[in-house]
A and B are shown apart, each in its own frame.
Chain A
């Protein structure tokens, strides 16, 4: 029984500060030019291809990847700063963020040279959007239960079945999906899944939007009917995708996007309470800021460990567990603290609107990217309980 949790004290190095100012300046210009409104996180049309391309031009997509694939060979900590500033400004990163965070690194690790040379530079230029095909109807977090099949055929595979809750599938150029290539074995439930790169323009793929309670339609159902995927689009080991998928999750689980999704309501609360809040308001702000600061320090620590080549899977799960619960509770805490704010206050309208939106999206925050229950299972395993 060894619970080896590590949270090294890591500070962002000075070069990150310079980069942070560059990003802020860029975002200020984009906001001034009317590309997006930072006070409207709820905008449905937050997919803005020109914005993605301009971010790519700045070198802020694929930052850590090798230069030969269009990357910039910068550090995870520099990438961290860019993610933070984009998130806090409510920048429209939907088109490139998944590819930058997850899909690109998977291709780098498992795709053949031709595919890497073709797709990675385009991701870096902000031209490519990825979707992640994991969940299925009746499986959800239980990846072992995935049924959507890839069946071997001449020169490739035929995919049949349905993926669901697939974010951005309606605008995606590619999907990285996990499909069943063999049945699980009696002693290994994890066996039989393979990861594929799927071109979303392939005949036999149909994308059906799913309306959410937030009013947005970013999720989709994706139906495959004999969709052909060539042999070299199978990534990594046939039947051995389980480990690939889980190591990918360390990147997905600890970033600043995992506690900043409802951050804007905290800013608006501070604005609404003014420069001289009463004791109740001050105390409420103080607690929330202390919690935010602590989570961020944990998250920076995990980013530093990823930079050092470690695989802090358990630590990343802890950050996501605490982070998503915090961002989920935040609109409710802000609502409490804003209860006595005079409704004539200048930004009251903004606060109310943002609060309403944050409250609606809050339930999904502890579900997307691995539910609380799944994360706690991973942490428990790390503690030696399973």
Chain B
């Protein structure tokens, strides 16, 4: 298999030495042994053996190396032309990362959920602004119904729990959905639609839809997409129990991981800056008020990484989108959104006025972390859902519920 091989070369270069090691450490048992075979087929035994010995998660490492090489925030920030997007996407595509979760038989890399989750967190850490996570999610969604993934950029719909796409008897899709990430960049859209007979999963040619211009807080494309009797390229029934809510839970978990990743980067950048910036004749890191703010930021990072990692770990070890997944994914989205709010404020505070300038890279992380709160369910939405779930079970069941996780 050629994929991931191209990136072996890239990973020989020194990886970005992020000084921060908040390990999300997805458990090893979650990894499918077959993944190793898939990843290493085509590589000599010695080489593969060496790789296994030095890395617990070669997929995430491959992704990090590409991000470090081709998505350097400083370079991107100076390049106002978006030319950087082409080589970045090509490298990701060559490495097979956009179709991480698509089985090999359907043209993907077939890596485990756990390994893919690490890629997503890493994408957050680098504030990656191409539709990698969206394409991964679309490929995953299509594979739920065994629909082969096309190559190229994809996104998913709906993205908001309130939005709905219906499918009628003629097998055409109708509905208007908002906030579709990279809707304007995607060649295909993977859709969960509802009919009177349950949910279907469909692959749609994006050019068959009406797409309004728009962007999110982080200046990434975020579009309203109108399906006006659109005929999908492929439609299959969703597996039993799979509904639009399942997509929301998976999407909420991915956004939580991205927020956690962005916060890891924010702590790293803020700590480094505080050790460089001198004010009142000393490094600002020596001021107790600054130290305490950074300690609070570390706490928010730790909470976000833990909450998002816990949800991802739960999905990776579950066979369906059951109550446990709901509890974990909802909690992760709520807590990570709170962490984004508190954490980005502290990062900006530490950076002072310079961090508020477009010249500085800080906004690339802070604004995306804030923007990701809105996708796949606002935290207030999930809090209300979670609160109703808890209340319906009753006060005496609350502790057993929390303690069971």
Contacts and interface: CB of A to CB of B under 8 A. Distances in A.
A266 interface: yes
Contact of A270 (B268, B295, B398): B398
Contacts of A375: 295
A284 interface: yes
Contact of A293 (B309, B338, B402): B402
A265 B100 CA distance: 45
B291 interface: yes
Interface in A236-283: 263, 266-268, 270-271, 273-277, 279, 281-283
B380 to A, nearest CB: 6
Interface stretch (A1-9, A99-107, A151-159, A215-223): A1-9
Given A1-B19, A1-B272, A318-B299, A270 B331 contact: no
A169 interface: no
Interface stretch (A69-77, A182-190, A296-304): A296-304
B362 interface: no
A342 B27 CA distance: 47
Contact of B335 (A2, A5, A291, A383): A291
B329 to A, nearest CB: 10
Interface string A282-317: 111111011111111110010000000000000100
A5 B394 contact: no
Contacts of A9: 24-27, 309-310, 313
A6 B302 CA distance: 8
A88 interface: yes
Contacts of B403: 20, 81, 84-85, 88, 296
Contacts of B307: 290, 293-294, 297
Nearest to A299: B306
B167 interface: no
A276 B391 contact: yes
Interface string B369-405: 0000000000110111111101110111011001101
B126 to A, nearest CB: 18
B25 A386 contact: no
Contacts of B395: 267-268, 270-271
B383 A286 contact: yes
A379 interface: yes
B299 A296 contact: no
B233 interface: no
Nearest to A84: B403
A297 B386 contact: no
A380 B285 CA distance: 9
Contacts of B90: none
A286 B387 contact: yes
Contacts of B334: 286-287, 290-291
A376 B387 contact: no
Contacts of A380: 291-292, 294-295
B279 interface: no
Nearest to B285: A385
B37 interface: no
Contacts of B23: 6-8
Contact of B392 (A275, A294, A298, A315): A275
Interface string B1-36: 000000000000000000111111111000000000
B254 interface: no
B78 interface: no
A203 interface: no
B387 A285 contact: yes
Contact of A290 (B299, B313, B330): B330
Interface in B206-264: none
A283 B377 CA distance: 13
B265 interface: no
Interface in B297-351: 298-299, 301-303, 305-307, 309-310, 313, 327-328, 330-332, 334-335, 338
B61 to A, nearest CB: 18
Contact of B394 (A270, A292, A386): A270
Contact of B386 (A20, A263, A285): A285
B195 interface: no
A267 B391 CA distance: 10
B391 A6 contact: no
Nearest to A8: B25
A373 interface: yes
A321 interface: yes
A5 B405 contact: no
Nearest to A383: B271
A318 B387 contact: no
Contact of A294 (B286, B331, B384, B398): B331
Given A88-B399, A298-B306, A318-B299, A5 B386 contact: no
Given A1-B271, A267-B399, A286-B382, A293 B22 contact: no
A285 B271 contact: no
Contacts of B338: 287, 291
A384 interface: yes
Given A293-B402, A297-B307, A6 B274 contact: no
Contacts of A59: none
Given A267-B398, A315-B302, A3 B19 contact: yes
A281 to B, nearest CB: 7
B267 interface: yes
Contacts of B267: 3, 383
A295 B387 CA distance: 17
B277 interface: no
Nearest to A256: B403
Contact of A289 (B274, B298, B306, B398): B398
Contacts of B299: 318, 321-322, 379
A282 B384 contact: yes
B113 to A, nearest CB: 13
B390 A295 contact: no
Contacts of A279: 384
Contacts of B85: none
Interface string A79-111: 001001100100000000000000000000000
Contact of A5 (B296, B302, B332, B399): B302
A2 B25 CA distance: 18
A212 B310 CA distance: 39
Contact of A295 (B24, B26, B303, B391): B303
A375 to B, nearest CB: 8
The 8 closest A-B pairs by CB, nearest first: A286-B383, A282-B387, A286-B387, A286-B386, A285-B387, A380-B291, A379-B295, A290-B334
9 contacts: A3-B20, A8-B25, A11-B313, A268-B395, A274-B391, A282-B391, A289-B331, A290-B386, A322-B302
Given A9-B26, A318-B299, A384-B275, 7 more contacts: A3-B268, A270-B398, A282-B391, A285-B391, A287-B387, A289-B386, A321-B299
